Structure 1
Amino acid sequence: MSTAPKPIVLWAVPRSRSTAFLRIMLERGDLEVLHEPFSYLQVDGHFEVAGRRVTSAIELLDVILEVNANERRVFVKETSDYTYTPLLEDGRLYSEVVNTFMIREPRGAISSHYAMNPDATLDEYGFEYLHVIFDAVRSAIGEVPLVIDGDDLVSDPEATVRTYCERVGLEFKSEALRWDPGQRANWQRTDRWHAEVAESSGLEAKTSKRRETPDTNAHLRRVAEYHQPFYDALARHRLAG
């Protein structure tokens, strides 16, 4: 039986700064990093990984576990704007994977999401489904999984990343907190969503662009009010600063 560390999945609400976190994992250089493979699989009907073309979530999980056992540890960043029912019904997701979570205060995340996709449905904002996945993991493993907050990541990158690494069994590499700007092949298919990360060289708080918010838009106010309880339930468990 393999003694390799388990693959890591970061389940994130959209626009939570999860791509910036993925960029840190890429910069480490010691992980096989996959950007939203289950989402891409849903949209395209296939996903290319380790030289193989997979066409189902279960087949994709098969390959992730295989690569993790035989090549190098896998880190997956995935978002909660799609549903993954077959995957959540596979017991290996809980027994053979380290599942972690990333949130962000809903008003900021929702405003950012709306600016990118004003036609997003209520479900696509992702807080409710992220809570569903969280509850499934917590029920299956009998403990509270790790939750980080995108705002904490920006306000104190080193402490947040260091503690995350300690919790999932990774060596902390401070040099991974800085990188050269530029697009990455990992997210080329959806690169317009990741322009800020591509233009950056590290994590930093930026002044919000002028955009619609729950304060200025009644629709966004309703979206934020709907998702706030799910954020609150997850935020109670978030990594302490």
Structure 2
Amino acid sequence: MSEHDRNIPQAILWTVPRGMSTVFERSIWALGDIKVYHEIYAKAAYFGEERYFPHFMDKEVQPGCKYSDAKEILQGPAVGYRGVFMKEHAYRVAAAGRYDAIPEGFVHSFLIRQPIKSIISFYKTYIDAYGSDSSLLLSELSFRGMLDLFKYIRDAKGQTPVIIDADDLLADPAGIMRKYCEAVGFEFRESMLHWESGTLEAWSWEEIWYRTVSTSKGFLKPSELGSSQSDDNLSDFPEKVQESVRDSQVCYEEMY
């Protein structure tokens, strides 16, 4: 029996930056018996010899970080676990055209969020982290890669992916996580809704992106997330941000 034929549920959550995916991942971590992988295509996309995105091109190439290496890890041993889960940004596979690196045997799911909320939040955090948007590509901002990947999974893989909306998740975490577990084959437990605050090792390399989830002890209510990005004036942002929000809204509505 090959690893991707192992008789335990396996799920991937594809999403976009600032889509509420890390708190979703934290909920899965709280189960304790699911092997969780955090964005393992990132090294291939930014640091490996096949890297596609320019932001870290000044860094040395890291060995063992090909797209095929990420696929191999996902299909690797999961001894002692009752399931396997990974969350990843869809653009890292879709924009690079690396559909060949998608592992077999996984249930695919997508977490979507209103583009005005996720893209503005991503852009602001990106500027805080790096000081400039000179190497930020439209494909990193846009939902287009996520929609393309969704269509690939549906049409080429013959699977109807699970779709979750972030606003629905925050409005009813227990109900949405219960339905998600039923859809992918995990066992829902109340422990998924509460956890100890702190930074997981998987989040340590760029902590600015994980400040909110690291201090959380459960799903935050919408009112606890601070001011809404939908209150921002889109015209105050660069054209590539405005273009991304407009195009992503079309993608979001199609997936929703």
Q: Provide TM-score, normalisation by structure 2.
A: 0.80
Is residue 230 from structure 1 mapped to residue 251 from structure 2 by the alignment?
yes
Distance in structure 2 (CA, Å) of the matches to 1:44 and 1:71: 31
Matched with 2:33 is: 30
Q: Deviations over 1:68-116 (max 9, x none)?
A: 4x443321110134345464125x63x4221111110011111111111
- Structure 1, unaligned runs of 5 or more: 47-52, 236-241
Is residue 221 from structure 1 mapped to residue 242 from structure 2 by the alignment?
yes
Identical-pair percentage: 27
Q: Deviations over 1:168-191 (max 9, x none)?
A: 000001112111111110111122
1:1-241 correspondence runs (5 A): 1=1, 2-45=5-48, 54-68=64-78, 70-72=79-81, 73-84=83-94, 85=96, 87-90=98-101, 93=103, 95-118=104-127, 119=133, 120-204=136-220, 205=222, 206-209=224-227, 213-215=232-234, 217-219=236-238, 220-235=241-256
2:10/2:107 contact within 8 Å kept: yes
Distance in structure 2 (CA, Å) of the matches to 1:3 and 1:37: 20
Q: Provide TM-score, normalisation by structure 1.
A: 0.84
SS in 1 for 2:12: strand
- Structure 2, unaligned runs of 5 or more: 50-62, 128-132
Q: How many residues were matched structurally?
A: 226
Q: Which amino acid aligns with 2:22?
A: T
Distance in structure 2 (CA, Å) of the matches to 1:89 and 1:195: 33
SS in 2 for 1:58: helix
Distance in structure 2 (CA, Å) of the matches to 1:54 and 1:76: 19
Decide whether aligned partners of structure 1 residues 62 and 106 sit closer, same or farther in structure 2, where only a CA change above 3 A counts: same
SS in 1 for 2:226: coil
Residues 148-157 or 219-228, more deviating: 219-228
Matched with 1:50 is: none
1:58/1:87 contact within 8 Å kept: no
- Backbone CA RMSD of aligned residues: 2.3
